[in-house]
A and B are shown apart, each in its own frame.
Chain A
Amino acid sequence: MTVKDAGRAASADSLPLGGQPESAEFIQLLTPEGERVDHPDYPLEISAEEIRALYRDLVLVRRIDFEAIALQRQGELGIWASLLGQEAAQVGSGRALEPSDMAFPTYREHGVAWCRGLDPTKLLELFRGVSHGGWDPRAHNFHLYTIVIGSQTLHATGYAMGIQRDGAVGEDGEAVIAYFGDGATSQGDVNEAFIWASVTNAPVVFFCQNNQWAISEPLERQSRVPLYRRAQGFGFPGVRVDGNDVLACLAVTRKAMQAAREGQGPTLIEAFTYRMGAHTTTDDPTRYRLAAELETWKLKDPIERVKAYLVRNELADEKFFTDLDAESGQIGARIRKACQEMPDPNPLSIFDNVYAEPDALLESEREQYAAYLETFEEAVR
């Protein structure tokens, strides 16, 4: 009843419940078949070497993800949020950033982390339960993973407001990119971030990976219009890009970041992609979506199309692919070993870093707990 009545409000612009039109108005520079296409607004000069480098990123990032899933299955990680299917969105946008730009990720941005030069074993620390995020965000201009849905979009906006105050907008300016998903667009925080960024003209790019699913909820539970169109109502441009096309993601993000750096304010990018795996390793997508949907998306695989392009145009020889295969195996083995050898944290580290300065209550709790643990060791002796 309620659901049906709501349909009366549907305008010509809105969508029927049951699915978004899949490729309406999206920017594409490389088709699923591996054909290069041009777009007048997004000319992309890119060398064969650069495309090979992107291909390498995509392959290695998928390998890291694959290894992490295996590690979780074997009990080495508590949980893992797979990026399978979203490699192009993450590598394309990640490689569009300058070192001085700042990125605010969700908990699935392993591909962006890779592009920012973060050692993948640092990601495993978090999912193994050894730390809440063991890297220095300042060292890579890559913030800690944010698990509460959408919170980081406001942090990104505030950071961008700081860039404005530092006078770092303009030629050689800095900008911020905020990652989030389709589900997050329903959160108040994300909508507030849009408002703040808009009225302050902050140098921030909102990069939404629309992977079609918020755990079990399809996009139509969150929106009746394509997500990128929401930007218009907030007062800044929105664009939809083929999220499985690494070249398009690179070109579109580059342009939006450059606009932000130069003081032209925010852009919303909707990367239209697909979560090919489960939400996390604890999720079971067979309960809520059809296998046929996944099969359709496999035909649009973000990696296969780049390979097809490289092979067809003879831009990479067999040695390139076998070398990459070997490198991929080495990375897999390295992070596996690092994960298995990761020591448990010291129990007394629980009391560290609650405040900037030592605190009497915490110090007494630490001493008491150390003494308590000591009684067990004495019992063992």
Chain B
Amino acid sequence: MTRLTLSKALNEGLRKALENDPKVLIMGEDVGKLGGVFRVTDGLQKDFGEARVVDTPLAESGIIGTAIGLALRGYRPVCEIQFDGFVFPAFDQITTQLAKMRYRSRGLLGLPVVVRIPCGGGIGAVEHHSESPEALFTHTAGLRVVACGDPADAYAMIQLSVSSDDPVIFFEPKRRYWDRADVDTSGDLSSALPLDRARTVASGTDVTVLCYGPMVKTCAAAALAAENEGRSLEVIDLRSLSPLDTETIVESVRRTGRCVIAHEAPVTGGLGAEIAARITEECFYQLEAPVLRVGGFSTPYPPSKLEEHYLPDLDRVLDAVDRTFGY
């Protein structure tokens, strides 16, 4: 076990991926000498060279478009989009090309491309640096969309994503980059939880709390606080946002009868809406209360002085938990 930050855990995972497969490439803005603005690729260009760790022109559409070409030629590009709000020039390539290639080639062409996106708020940044655009990608069939929540998972999930034969949109919670935890970097990943499975972070009996990415830590803390008030929360880190691990979700909600979904993204049209609909379909007779969502307001992301209001925190999660007992 090594104590690593989430950023360093991703770095170690990428290093492993580069070592294990000579076809793996890293591409992005400032990923070389600088090691990325969050240092996730720190030292990789030095050790693997400029042909494998590529500082690209400032052109996100170009990053994904050329990654698609490289993948068609047999490479496995791992692309970094510097900030969530900068992914949109690449949105066309991701949604019209990357997501659909397997389908339109009738299975002949897979695109093993990973698109890493630092996501979410809470770092006091200016506009376009705090967004949570995951629902735009989960709404796009053909993409795997995942979010890591802690260092150990980040280490495993990035490697599983690189070895996936499907395109993966990989969200990294930027306000958790400097959180530390023990990570086992010794063995292989044969015993790791598969990429498409959710993980129960805390077992409980009263309410199921679903979360991912930056909210995993918040919800785990909420479970501890609730315990002091005599309420038992089951916290599930979804990990895979698309496809969803419906089995794990449904099994839990059928037991607890109550569910709260927390994400930073706006509640309106967000991933929580999709999950709530599925739960309603699958658990209708077990539900004691409507599925409640906690998330961003139906507004653009506000100036950073207001982000503590916008971002759901422990109190807002517990407030929703309380409300599920009001029915």
Contacts and interface: CB of A to CB of B under 8 A. Distances in A.
Interface string B156-195: 0000000000000000000000000000000000000000
Interface in B26-73: 29-30, 32-35, 37, 50-51, 55-59, 61-62
Interface stretch (B125-133, B199-207, B252-260, B281-289): B125-133
A309 to B, nearest CB: 36
Contacts of B303: 126, 129-132, 345
Interface residues of B, number: 42
B126 A221 contact: no
Interface in A149-182: 149-150
* Among B33, B62, B310, B316: residue with most chain A CB under 10 A: B33
A287 B37 CA distance: 11
A47 interface: no
Interface stretch (B15-23, B104-112, B292-300): B292-300
B4 to A, nearest CB: 21
Contact of B34 (A187, A287, A354): A287
B58 A1 contact: no
Given A148-B128, A221-B56, A222-B58, A362 B298 contact: yes
Contacts of A221: 55-57
Interface in A276-321: 282-283, 287-288
Nearest to A81: B126
Dominant secondary structure of chain B at its interface with chain A: loop
B3 to A, nearest CB: 24
Given A129-B126, A222-B57, A217 B30 contact: yes
B302 interface: yes
B232 to A, nearest CB: 23
B74 interface: no
Contact of A365 (B85, B124, B126, B297): B297
B307 to A, nearest CB: 8
Contact of A351 (B34, B85, B299, B304): B299
B87 to A, nearest CB: 10
A350 B266 CA distance: 13
Contact of B58 (A184, A283, A288, A365): A184
A12 to B, nearest CB: 23
Nearest to A185: B58
Given A130-B303, A344-B305, A369-B297, A79 B51 contact: no
Given A354-B299, A362-B299, 18 more contacts: A1-B51, A79-B125, A107-B126, A126-B126, A129-B124, A129-B305, A129-B306, A147-B127, A148-B89, A184-B58, A187-B59, A188-B62, A216-B33, A287-B34, A347-B306, A350-B302, A362-B297, A369-B297
Interface of A: 1-3, 78-79, 107, 126-132, 147-150, 183-184, 186-189, 214-217, 221-222, 282-283, 287-288, 344-345, 347, 349-351, 354, 361-362, 365, 369, 372, 376
